């Protein structure tokens, strides 16, 4: 039976049929996912909302999902550490300093001014404390 199965699945026309069937199924899934009124999308939305409601009230479920997510994050980081480091390093290295500064200022906006002011005030206070301590100690 294994030999017959291998022979049948190894034939080019069977492979073409499988590829065609998969392409059709994939196209139907993608179309359903893009259509806001599709049964697939409505059921997926209902399932996600139901899970969210259950997570609000069921601590055990929340803890279980937290554990799964933590395990997944640890696995991804330990398995793909070098790739993640490389991706981040290459991305940051490719940034243009002026362009990046403008983008940060545009997105952070007013908050950036408060950060700058707070930094100036904290720096001035730290300097004043250091000066006062050094003068008090006879420096």
Question: Could you report the per-residue pLDDT of 66-124, keeping only the tens digit for each?
Answer: 999 999 999 999 999 999 999 999 999 999 989 988 888 888 877 878 888 899 999 99
Q: What is the pLDDT of residue 105?
A: 81
DSSP notation for 110-127: HHHHHHHHHHHHHHHHHH
Q: What is the pLDDT of residue 64?
A: 96
The domain segmentation of the chain, as residue ranges, is 1-57, 58-94, 96-139
Average pLDDT, the chain: 91
Residue 9 has pLDDT above 70, yes or no: yes
- Percent over 90 (pLDDT), the chain: 71
**What one-character DSSP code corresponds to residue 36?**
T
Express each pLDDT in 39-70 by its tens digit: 999 999 999 999 999 999 999 999 999 999 99
Select from 115, 119, 117, 137 the least CA-distant residue to 129: 137
Nearest-angstrom CA–CA distance, 63 and 89 = 34
């Amino acid at each position: 039976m294994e030999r017959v199965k291998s022979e049948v699945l190894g034939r080019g026309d069977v492979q073409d049929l499988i590829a065609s069937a998969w392409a059709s199924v994939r196209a139907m899934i993608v179309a359903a996912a893009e259509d806001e009124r599709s049964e697939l999308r409505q059921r997926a939305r209902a399932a996600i909302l139901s899970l969210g409601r259950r997570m609000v009230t069921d601590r055990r479920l929340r803890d279980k999902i937290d554990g799964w997510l933590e395990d997944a994050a640890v696995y991804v980081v330990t398995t793909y550490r070098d790739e993640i480091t490389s991706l981040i390093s290459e991305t940051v290295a490719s940034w243009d300093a002026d362009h990046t500064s403008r983008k940060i200022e545009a997105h952070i906006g007013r908050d950036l001014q408060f950060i700058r002011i707070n930094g100036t005030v904290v720096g001035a206070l730290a300097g004043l404390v250091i000066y006062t301590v050094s003068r008090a100690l006879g420096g």
